[in-house]
């Protein structure tokens, strides 16, 4: 429900961008020719429609469809300018370096860019100020332990949900006046409080069955337009991860239904094979150049392999271009804390790691069916065993085929340096396993492009 509201806002933002780009084209033609003839329109409409498609993709890669970005005006301004300059470079490349169009606009292109830059900026300011929170604005009543309230309030404040925590029924702990909330102790007054505080959403931090009087009071809300959510849903919608402390075996049985994903897995496998072929050819072209650089930089083999845990816990062997000294793990397996500072990486290997070029040989694993392009990153069994002991739910990430990149890799950019970091990534992996779809895979692919360009997450 909450994700649907987020998707509506994001779709509105995308539609607005498309309208701005097309309106800028109309204005450009009017300014240049004082009229719009059928000939001029037909010459420009399809090339600029294709440019619009790539500009929208460029916005997504830059992160401009993150609904919380508009809250930080300086960061938004910087990101918007950088994205538009990148989009201009894309347009110039298509018109002049790849001459597939029948026109090569100069003045028209830069006039269209200038109009799109200005109109697009004002559209996004307008969206952030007047439209972003209109679809789901409302007051929230939280029922649960007092220890959760501060975190929940901050979570909602930073999110783009348009929800504000105003009222609390504390089931454990004492009230905190500094939070400036309406604290309720008499559950029998719940209906009156909902009307008085204009509550639109109730968030549950407990199981209603554990507190009979609250269960009865909540039953009465079934006859009103109140939205009832559990604490995990809020965390999932605002952070893109599933908090392990709020879920149980019953939750997983309810939400992880693999029978519903069979068609998706089949289509995804076909897409993997189709896309892996050109990437495989690219790998063959790059192989001799990368091999020479590795040989000149460090003694040892060009490729190395590792055993990883794949789908359903099956062991798979993956291949990579070597980026570390041959004795990098002489003292045993260990995490790469940071590709920019890890002393085991030789200079060229550090660059390959940051650009993800070391992963190219794994295209073979994609063709074999060991990996997918998108999915939870496969982990080494030496790390999986202690993680399963710490958190039995860890094995659920093996329900789907692991991938070259995944939701955890684009959302949690801190280098994995400990088992705790892996448990944090597990929350993102479980979000992906639950919500995986072709749309989410496309979003991950675009985000990965942006991360590689910025050399983040290593």
- Asked if the model's pLDDT at residue 1 lies above 70, the reply is no
pLDDT at 106: 81
**Is residue 73 located within the same domain as residue 165?**
no
As a whole number, the mean pLDDT across the chain is: 85
Q: 66: domain range? A: 2-131
pLDDT band per the 50, 70, 90 thresholds, residue 371: very high
**Is residue 302 located within the same domain as residue 448?**
yes
- Asked if the model's pLDDT at residue 439 lies above 80, the reply is yes
- Asked if the model's pLDDT at residue 364 lies above 90, the reply is yes
**Is residue 421 located within the same domain as residue 316?**
yes
368 lies in some domain: yes
Q: What is the CATH number of the domain that holds 205?
A: 3.40.50.20
The 10s digit of each residue's pLDDT in 383-404 is 888 888 888 788 888 989 999 9
**Is residue 300 located within the same domain as residue 157?**
no
pLDDT band per the 50, 70, 90 thresholds, residue 362: very high
Long-range contacts of 193-199 (CB under 8 A, 24+ apart): 193/141, 193/167, 194/141, 194/221, 194/224, 194/226, 197/139, 197/141, 197/166, 197/167, 198/138, 198/139, 199/138, 199/139, 199/140, 199/141, 199/166, 199/167, 199/226
Q: How far apart are the first and last CA of the chain?
A: 34
251 lies in some domain: no
- The answer to whether 314 touches 367, Cβ cutoff 8 Å, is no
Most confident range (mean pLDDT) of 12-26, 68-82, 182-196 is 12-26
253 lies in some domain: no
pLDDT band per the 50, 70, 90 thresholds, residue 9: confident
172 lies in some domain: yes
**Is residue 294 located within the same domain as residue 389?**
yes
pLDDT at 229: 84
pLDDT at 131: 65
pLDDT at 293: 93
- Asked if the model's pLDDT at residue 134 lies above 70, the reply is no
- Asked if the model's pLDDT at residue 133 lies above 60, the reply is no
| pTM of the model as a whole | 0.80
The 10s digit of each residue's pLDDT in 256-292 is 766 668 888 899 999 999 999 998 999 999 999 999 9
**Is residue 24 located within the same domain as residue 150?**
no
**Integer CA distances (angstroms), 415 to 260, 337, 374, 435, in order:** 33, 6, 19, 24
Tell me how many domains the chain contains: 3
pLDDT band per the 50, 70, 90 thresholds, residue 374: very high
The 10s digit of each residue's pLDDT in 215-257 is 777 777 777 788 888 888 888 888 888 887 767 777 677 777 6
**Is residue 438 located within the same domain as residue 349?**
yes
- Asked if the model's pLDDT at residue 101 lies above 80, the reply is no
215 lies in some domain: yes
pLDDT at 72: 76
**Is residue 288 located within the same domain as residue 378?**
yes
**Is residue 288 located within the same domain as residue 387?**
yes
Question: Which of 97, 131, 165 represents a domain boundary (last residue)?
Answer: 131
Question: Which of 74, 109, 131 represents a domain boundary (last residue)?
Answer: 131
244 lies in some domain: no
252 lies in some domain: no
**Is residue 293 located within the same domain as residue 410?**
yes
pLDDT band per the 50, 70, 90 thresholds, residue 417: low
Nearest to 70 by CA among 62, 61, 80: 80
% the chain with pLDDT above 70? 93
% the chain with pLDDT above 90? 31
**Is residue 152 located within the same domain as residue 95?**
no
361 lies in some domain: yes
The 10s digit of each residue's pLDDT in 285-329 is 999 999 999 999 888 899 989 999 999 999 999 999 999 888 877
Stronger pLDDT, 356 or 207, i.e. the higher one = 356
What's the rounded mean pLDDT across residues 337-345? 77
Q: Which residues of 190-200 are buried (b: 16+ CB within 10 A; e: fewer)?
A: beebbeebebb
**Is residue 315 located within the same domain as residue 341?**
yes
Question: Which of 102, 131, 160 represents a domain boundary (last residue)?
Answer: 131
């Amino acid at each position: 429900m909450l994700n649907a509201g987020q998707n509506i806002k994001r779709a509105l933002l995308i539609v607005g961008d498309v309208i701005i780009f097309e309106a800028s084209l109309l204005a450009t033609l009017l300014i240049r020719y004082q009229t719009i003839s059928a000939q001029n329109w037909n010459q420009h409409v399809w090339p600029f429609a294709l440019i619009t498609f790539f500009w929208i993709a460029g916005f997504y890669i830059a992160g401009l469809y993150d609904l919380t970005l508009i809250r930080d005006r300086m960061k938004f301004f910087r990101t918007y300018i950088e994205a538009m300059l990148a989009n201009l470079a894309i347009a110039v490349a298509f018109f002049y370096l790849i001459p597939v169009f029948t026109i090569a606009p100069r003045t028209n292109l830069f006039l269209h860019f200038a109009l799109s830059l200005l109109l697009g900026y004002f559209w996004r300011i307008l969206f952030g100020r007047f439209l972003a929170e209109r679809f789901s604005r409302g007051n929230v009543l939280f029922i649960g332990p007092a220890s959760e309230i501060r975190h929940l309030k901050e979570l909602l404040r930073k999110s783009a949900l348009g929800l504000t925590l105003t009222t609390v029924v504390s089931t454990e702990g004492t009230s905190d006046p500094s939070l400036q909330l309406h604290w309720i102790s008499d559950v029998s007054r719940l209906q009156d409080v909902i009307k008085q505080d204009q509550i639109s959403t109730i968030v549950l931090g407990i199981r209603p069955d554990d507190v009979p009087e609250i269960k009865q009071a909540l039953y009465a809300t079934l006859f009103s337009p109140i939205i009832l959510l559990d604490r995990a849903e809020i965390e999932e919608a605002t952070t893109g991860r599933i908090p392990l402390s709020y879920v149980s075996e019953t939750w997983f049985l309810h939400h992880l239904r693999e029978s519903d994903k069979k068609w998706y897995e089949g289509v995804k496998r076909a897409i993997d094979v189709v896309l892996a072929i050109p990437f495989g050819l690219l790998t063959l072209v790059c192989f001799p150049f990368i091999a020479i650089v590795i040989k000149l930089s460090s003694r040892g083999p060009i490729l190395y392999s590792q055993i990883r845990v794949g789908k359903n816990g099956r062991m798979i062997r993956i291949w990579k271009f070597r980026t570390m000294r041959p004795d990098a793990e002489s003292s045993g397996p260990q995490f790469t804390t940071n590709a920019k500072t890890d002393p085991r990486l030789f200079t060229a290997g550090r660059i390959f790691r940051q650009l993800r070029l070391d992963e190219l040989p794994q295209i073979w694993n994609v063709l074999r069916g060991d990996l997918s392009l998108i999915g939870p990153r496969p982990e080494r069994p030496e790390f999986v065993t202690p993680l399963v002991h710490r958190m039995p739910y860890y094995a659920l990430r093996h329900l789907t085929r692991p991938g070259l990149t995944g939701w955890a890799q684009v959302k949690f950019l801190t280098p994995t340096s400990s088992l705790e970091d892996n448990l944090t990534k597990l929350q993102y992996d479980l979000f992906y396993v639950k919500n995986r779809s072709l749309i989410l895979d496309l979003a991950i692919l675009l985000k990965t492009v942006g991360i590689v360009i910025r050399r983040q997450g290593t």
